[in-house]
Structure 1
Amino acid sequence: MSDPILRLSGVFTDIAQYHILQGVDFEVPRGQVTMLLGRNGVGKTTTLRTIMGHWRARAGQIVLDGQDIAGLPTPAISRMGVGYVPENMGIFSDLTIEENMILAASSGPIDRARLDWLFSVFPPLQTFWKGQAGNLSGGQKQMLSIARAMVEERRLYLIDEPTKGLAPAIVSTMAGALRQLKDQGASILLVEQNFSVARALGDSAVVMDDGRVVWAGAMAELANDASLQERLMGLSMEAGH
């Protein structure tokens, strides 16, 4: 693929004595949504954390727009325009929604038009704007977590399981927000266990197993091939799991 926004080449990451990533190779096309898929525990979250600099790669290259960011500290990667939504949401519970959002807008005051757009896709954020984030429901906290990453236009968004454990109505809200972000031309690397969401949003897919990439291609190809899904992940997207 031409001019990917992100490329991982031979990335190895160790956590204590465990070799988690074992030579990960894939590319994220610019202006597309790339789904990072696979069973639990195969290294998807570690891949995002390594890209973001939370874990240090032992070997390999992580190239963002032509610059190798492997080894850079997390704040430097963030300043390069990478937004990250961790699986544990990473919000500040003791602060208000407003304060959480202000902290996330690193380049200055929040753009009013972008804030109005976020309110339109996540109405509870406007409703509870002055309220403490810790008082939000689980789904509302996830909305805030994603909105914090989206408060400014980023070069690349890394999003880890945004619909995990959420009620179907909230999943629909999340998917709609991510679709709007996609329609704006955003480049997104998305870990997602809900395959109906993955099928609806993904342009391309990368499937991991045991710390390695075992398949990469068009999301539509994977979505339309039940035997391939079963072979790669032991799951059928047709079943909606």
Structure 2
Amino acid sequence: MSDILLSLRDIHTDIGQYHILHGVDLEVPRGQVTMLLGRNGAGKTTTLRTIMGILPPHRGEITLDGAPVTALNSALIARQGVALVPEDMGIFANLTVEENIILASLNGPPDRDRLERIFTAFPALRTFWKGRAGTLSGGQKQMLSVARAMITERRLYLIDEPSKGLAPAIVSTLAKALRELKAAGATILMVEQNFRLAKALGDHAAVMDNGRVIWAGPMATLAADPELQSRLMGLSLEDHA
């Protein structure tokens, strides 16, 4: 079995008339966390949406465990064990927290042990279990979005800027839950602008610019080299630590 779970080769994706991804090459190792970094507009979210089948590429190949998935739609990608936590959270505001979780469970009613782990990670979800998701705070909605992905064990978690716009206490709660998911052996590809969180969670990093991956390597290498950070992203991670 290969150590690479997900592979992208020469991926080109358009949104309308705009050519967003210009030949993305990316490998995501099994059982580790890969951080997808770069300036705003570099193509990070488009890359996640392309992997998930929401934006089909017009060129290139995506493989999951060595099997091509490039032509699959998002529903079929989900059935392959891939979950997306989108930047806009993607919850059903008119449904209860409970109903959101049940809908996200791929195998019928949620596993009780897994549900208890989610309640331990996100106590607010137990408190508001019967409440409508639309009435939750922004941080609680993000917790629910992450919990929806976690309720069933997945082969790959795609997580888009989970800490964006959240208070530090909520970010800390999310970070703890993601560390536990990582410790359980999950494979995660995550876009994150909070570099403290990226350094704390990431095993590997891939830096994007202008629709391409321009650098890939150990997260520790990037975190330890402010000059490299500045050259790749125009800033130092230390400025955001």
Q: Does 1:119 align with 2:89?
A: no
Aligned residue for 2:3, secondary structure, equals coil
Residue of structure 2 equivalent to 1:208: 208
Secondary structure in structure 1 of the residue aligned to 2:13: strand
1:57 aligns with 2:51: no
The residue type paired with residue 99 of structure 1 is E
Amino acid in structure 2 at the alignment position of 1:4: I
TM-superposed CA distance for 1:184, in Å, is 0.1
Matches within 5 A, 1:42-191: 42-191=42-191
Deviations 1:23-63 (A, max 9, x none): 00010000000000000001000000000000010100110
Question: For the residues of structure 1 that align with 2:3 and 2:238, how far apart are their CA atoms?
Answer: 33
Distance in structure 1 (CA, Å) of the matches to 2:235 and 2:175: 21
Aligned residue number for residue 235 of structure 1: 235
Gaps of 5+ in 1: none
Q: What is the aligned-residue RMSD (CA, Å)?
A: 0.7
TM-score by length of 2: 0.98
Give identity over the alignment, percent.
67
The offset of 1:17, in angstroms, is 1.4
Corresponding residue pairs, total: 240
* Equivalent in the alignment of 1:16: 16
Once the 2 structures are TM-superposed, how far is the Cα of residue 91 of structure 1 from its aligned partner?
A: 0.1
For residue 49 of structure 2, what is the amino acid of its counterpart? R
Distance 1:225 1:234 in 2: 13
| CA shift digits 1:154-212 (9 cap, x unpaired) | 00000000000000000111111100000000000000000000000000000000000
1:53-96 CA distances to partner (integer Å, 9 max, x unpaired)?
00010100110011111120110000010011000000000000
Deviation at 1:3, TM superposition (A): 2.6
- How far apart are residue 133 of structure 1 and its match? 0.3
The runs of 5 or more residues in structure 2 that have no matched partner are none
**How far apart are 1:14 and its partner, in Å?**
0.9
- DSSP-derived class of the 1:41 partner: coil
- Distance, in Å, in 2 between the alignment partners of 1:148 and 1:236 is 33
Deviation at 1:11, TM superposition (A): 0.3
SS of aligned partner of 2:215: strand
**Cross-structure match for 2:31:** 31
3-state SS, counterpart of residue 36 of structure 2: strand
Could you tell me how far 1:143 is from its partner in structure 2?
A: 0.2
What secondary structure sits across from 1:5 in the alignment? Answer: strand
- The CA distance in 1 between the partners of 2:108 and 2:28, in whole Å, is 28
3-state SS in 2 of match to 1:49: helix
Instruction: Give the superposition deviation at 1:22.
Output: 0.4
Distance 2:166 2:129 in 1: 21
CA distance in 2, matches of 1:59, 1:144: 34
Secondary structure of 1:125's aligned partner: helix
